[in-house]
Amino acid sequence: MAVYSSVWLARLLTLPEEVQRSLAVRSITTPFALEAAKQMGGQPDLVALFVVITGVFGMAVGDILFLRLAVRSRLAKGAGFGASSHGAGTARAYELGPQEGVVSSLVMMLAGIITVVAAPLIGRLMW
């Protein structure tokens, strides 16, 4: 979903295709994002920038979002941070507690692996 929504928004804003391809993998941690972007034709410098911005933003607003949405589950918070804000979010999840941190780590790794494995297919379907 993150890949699709990132590309959809980039297309809506009529951003160049290279930027679209680089934005597509912004929601996974940097090593995975760079590999997936290579398979999809993204620009490594842009990928790294988008990944860092996404991670820091998610870490900064995650707690507020969970509060506003009344998310109380420690597992849900960990999964949310890991899936959306990767390394930075996982660091924040560990600050909340060990359960949140472990779940965040697992979700971050799974999201990265799935995206890298699916990147060739995603690239063919989206472009």
What DSSP line would sit under 46-79, residue for residue? HHHHHHHHHHHHHHHHHHHHHHHTT---HHHHHH
Residue 1 DSSP symbol: -
| 79 contacts 103 by C-beta, under 8 angstroms | yes
Mean pLDDT of the chain: 91
Q: Are 80 and 54 in contact (CB under 8 A)?
A: no
- Surface-to-core class of residue 52, CB atoms within 10 Å of its CB (0-12 exposed, 13-18 middle, 19+ buried): middle
Q: What number is the average pLDDT over the span 101-124?
A: 91
Each residue of 9-53: pLDDT tens digit? 899 999 999 999 999 888 888 999 999 988 888 899 999 999 999
Do the beta carbons of residue 114 and residue 90 sit within 8 Å?
no
Q: Is the pLDDT of residue 124 over 90?
A: no
Name the residue ranges covered by the structural domains of the chain. 1-126
The pLDDT assigned to 118 comes to: 87
Does an H or E element contain 2, and which?
A: helix 2-12
Angle value at C-alpha 95, between 47 and 28, nearest 5 degrees: 20
- DSSP classification of residue 24: T
Q: Judge whether residue 2 has pLDDT over 80.
A: no
